[in-house]
Structure 1
Amino acid sequence: MSKKVYFLADAHLGAKTHPDSLEAEKKLCRWLDHVKEDASAIYLMGDIFDYWFEYKYVVPRGFTRLLGKLAEVTDNGVEVHFFIGNHDIWITDYLSKECGLILHLKPIITEIQGKKFFLAHGDGLGDGSRSFRFLRKLFHNKFLQKCFSGIHPRWTVPLAHAWSSDSREKGGVVGYLGEDNEYLIRYSKDKLKEIQDIDYFIYGHRHILINLPIAEHSRVVILGDWITLFSYAVFDGNSIKLENWEM
């Protein structure tokens, strides 16, 4: 059996956006059970959790089914890569030590089965919003993270979820803006001028489904989400396609 590579993003587990976050988590575990049978690697491309902050001796409550399933998958020899998003930035070593995940704090370029991939959650790449760029700098600031860690979780966790819900209600997820207006597509085209042999750009973040050719040999893939679309991408060594999980 030929091995496949899977990509999934934006589950936002724990978010009020989910009609039932626990059921979304169980559904994700069923998906992992399915894909682990023929997967050589699984790439979780950011915002798997709606909020995740690791204190020195404390991690967020919940997600026990998913964390246990991820440990099971990696224990069975399948690589699971975890990219931080803009909601689950604050990761140290818990997921790598306890669950065996390979953590990525920045975009990477890597070769997969003879093809070159640019992999990133997608936040901060070509987005022209000044307010978003400002917030992103605050969230990535190590000094501010250390200050935040000094506040008791009973205050920080509700605050984080309230901010996430409020920002989503005010801004929402905007649908496909067209090839010329999608900043991740523009960013990919610019990156392709710099590194001309990238075959696939894979992103989350935008919560839309795109599998778009931008050059004769290069495509941009945006993975949708695990909130309403329950979508993912699969690469079989020859081509990549987007699919939806119904079970």
Structure 2
Amino acid sequence: MKIKRKIEIAVISDVHLGTYGCHAKHLLTYLNSIEPKKLILNGDIIDIWQFSKRYFPKSHLKVIKKIMDMAADGVEIFYITGNHDEMLRKFSGTNIGNISIVDKLVLEMDGKKGWFFHGDVFDVSIQQAKWLAKLGGYGYDLLILLNRLVNWYLAKRGKERYSLSKKIKNSVKKAVKFINDYETVISDLAIENDYDYVVCGHIHQPKIEFKENKHGSTIYLNSGDWVENFTALEYQFKRWKIYNYNKDKLAPFYMDESIEDLEVKDLIAAITIVETHEKNQA
């Protein structure tokens, strides 16, 4: 029998289902290991920008079905829209059973206020030149694919994984400045609006950091991603922590055998279960 960790809130972002860079099996293993009261999907879960009928493997479908099953089992799920799944913004405010589609979210946790959003609205390059951002997205996806080939070779040689894209990001001063500016702008706005926590994604940089200025303070949190870092945020016992798949996988949780042979028709059935659950709750 698999023992699941009970937590108040789990936050994941930047999964990019439908791309070669997505590590859906890792994410599914993580989702099978937890029992949250709330699951917050903080943007870029399905990569609609780069969606292709030619590439959406079963492991990616299994993640969607797992989320649907969690909703049917009573987990409150918030799907916060991001830039790669911005098409869903037209459905903001929609509820399907326990799943709510929103652009941003405010939650109270043990007397403190948390502000949740993806974070792309603070990215000028996307707002002013989306076509360029999309082109950059394809290039990034190719980089990730090449990196996976490199890591396959390193694993065969018994050597440590190497993140090519992370190395490039960390070595370019402009990218570092962008990340620092991004975190500062978001934190300053959270302080201005009296939020104790500000939780975002988008830049694939997991972090929990105390931020302050002359007007006050807040806790900045970023859930990272499931392309390079394999991280999530977890809230339990009045505190936040970063879950890291590579470091915190204390027990082997595997994909449910019942969804090994998942087909598209099974995904449709899962959605039907959620809708049926909504009717039963009414």
User: Common fold, TM-score beyond 0.5?
Assistant: yes
Corresponding residue number in structure 2 for 1:6: 10
Corresponding residue number in structure 2 for 1:78: 75
Corresponding residue number in structure 1 for 2:32: 33
1:164 to 123, 137, 141: 137
| Cα pair 1:86 1:136 within 8 Å, conserved | no
Amino acid at match of 1:164: G
| Cα pair 1:53 1:90 within 8 Å, conserved | no
1:133 to 108, 117, 127: 127
Corresponding residue number in structure 2 for 1:233: 233
Q: CA deviation at 1:102?
A: 1.3
| Cα pair 1:124 1:136 within 8 Å, conserved | no
Query: 1:68–1:237: structure 2 CA closer, same or farther, 3 Å change rule?
Result: same
Corresponding residue number in structure 1 for 2:151: none
Query: 1:113–1:193: structure 2 CA closer, same or farther, 3 Å change rule?
Result: closer
Corresponding residue number in structure 2 for 1:199: 196
2:187 to 189, 213, 225: 189
**Separation in 2, partners of 1:90, 1:14:** 15
1:102 and 2:100 correspond: yes
Offset from partner CA, 1:154-199 (integer Å, 9 cap, x none): xxxxxx7x773136669x6734726x96233222333134222x11
Offset from partner CA, 1:20-61 (integer Å, 9 cap, x none): x4xx2232222112112xx1101111111222799xxx9x96
Q: CA deviation at 1:136?
A: 5.2
Q: CA deviation at 1:96?
A: 5.1
SS at match of 2:32: helix
- TM-score (normalizing by structure 2): 0.62
Amino acid at match of 1:166: G
What is the correspondence of 1:205-216 to structure 2 with a 5 Å cutoff? 205-215=202-212
Query: 1:8–1:2: structure 2 CA closer, same or farther, 3 Å change rule?
Result: closer
Question: Tell me, which stretches of 5 or more residues in structure 1 are unaligned?
Answer: 140-159
Q: Percent identity?
A: 21
| Cα pair 1:52 1:90 within 8 Å, conserved | no
Query: 1:164–1:185: structure 2 CA closer, same or farther, 3 Å change rule?
Result: closer
**Separation in 2, partners of 1:241, 1:220:** 12
Offset from partner CA, 1:79-109 (integer Å, 9 cap, x none): 111111111111266x954x742111x2232
**Separation in 1, partners of 2:47, 2:114:** 26
Amino acid at match of 1:73: M
Amino acid at match of 2:126: F
- TM-score (normalizing by structure 1): 0.70
How large is the RMSD of aligned CA atoms in angstroms? 3.5
**Separation in 1, partners of 2:224, 2:12:** 8
Corresponding residue number in structure 1 for 2:154: none
**Separation in 2, partners of 1:124, 1:96:** 23
The structure whose Rg is larger is 2
Q: CA deviation at 1:231?
A: 0.4
